[in-house]
Chain A
Amino acid sequence: KAGVTQTPRYLIKTRGQQVTLSCSPISGHRSVSWYQQTPGQGLQFLFEYFSETQRNKGNFPGRFSGRQFSNSRSEMNVSTLELGDSALYLCASSETGALNTEAFFGQGTRLTVV
């Protein structure tokens, strides 16, 4: 099986712009979670989608949003980019979202805001 695929791998955007990141989960996985990783704040949970519905949300401003499609692929969008949004964004998928299923991570998208 192919792993979790995140595109693009690297992105440079200007402050004020918006950006969309994509995550394709492992085939058959219906739960997709997003995390932001920065040197200062570490790894922080953004949100989780399961069967096209947002099931959980972290403490991020409304500029951060996401969605999931019927094929379980997920996108996250950040509007009005700020310098502090520069980070590695990681996506993780799991089979059913049940408690005993392992989360598999992608290699992330490195976003730089200038």
Chain B
Amino acid sequence: AQTVTQSQPEMSVQEAETVTLSCTYDTSESDYYLFWYKQPPSRQMILVIRQEAYKQQNATENRFSVNFQKAAKSFSLKISDSQLGDAAMYFCAYRSLGQGAQKLVFGQGTRLTINP
């Protein structure tokens, strides 16, 4: 079974600075998807960015980018120019391509605080 580990329960960063959230995962599969989701106090999970394992190029979405290291099974999220609205719980998630393809396996989350 796949597992996802986020080793940083909490992180904080000054507004406008850059922060990196860590995620490692364990799988025996060669193809899969990885995601970062944001959960603000409103509780709704919002997709931040996703990465297909077969793509070597790291995904980017505006101020959000990932560092995907497939051999190391590492998938970190970098947030540049942090804004107050970025404060939330961030979850790393894995999705298989095989049977059970719609099942997301989540890490325990990292609570990100933005200091003004």
Residues of A that sit less than 8 Å from B by CB = 31, 33, 35, 42-45, 48, 50, 55-56, 58, 88, 90, 92, 94, 97-99, 102-108, 110
A-B contact pairs, 28 of them (CB 8 A): A31-B102, A33-B102, A33-B103, A33-B104, A35-B104, A43-B104, A44-B106, A45-B103, A48-B102, A55-B102, A56-B100, A58-B103, A88-B43, A90-B43, A92-B45, A92-B104, A94-B102, A98-B101, A102-B50, A103-B47, A103-B102, A103-B104, A105-B37, A105-B45, A107-B42, A107-B43, A107-B44, A110-B43
The answer to the question of B91 belonging to the interface, with a C-beta cut-off of 8 Å to chain A, is yes
In the assembled complex, which residues on chain A have CB atoms less than 8 Å from the CB atom of B106?
35, 42-44
Interface residues in B58-116 by Cβ distance below 8 A to A read 91, 97, 99-109
Bound form: Cα–Cα A98–B97 in Å: 9
**Min distance, Cβ A93 to any Cβ of chain B, angstroms:** 10
A25 → chain B closest CB, angstroms: 12
A105 to B37, CA, bound (A): 10
Which bracket fits the contact residues of B?
A: 20 to 34
Q: Which residue of B lies closest to A31 (CB)?
A: B102
Q: State which of A97, A98, A108 has its C-beta within 8 Å of the C-beta of B43.
A: A108
| Ranked 3 nearest A-B pairs via Cβ | A105-B45, A43-B106, A56-B100
Chain A residues whose C-beta falls within 8 Å of the C-beta of B109 in the assembled complex: 42-43
Q: Are B44 and A97 in contact (CB under 8 A)?
A: no
Determine the chain A residues whose CB is within 8 A of the CB of B105 once the complex forms.
45
Residue of A nearest to B45 (CB): A105
B44 touches A56 (CB 8 A): no
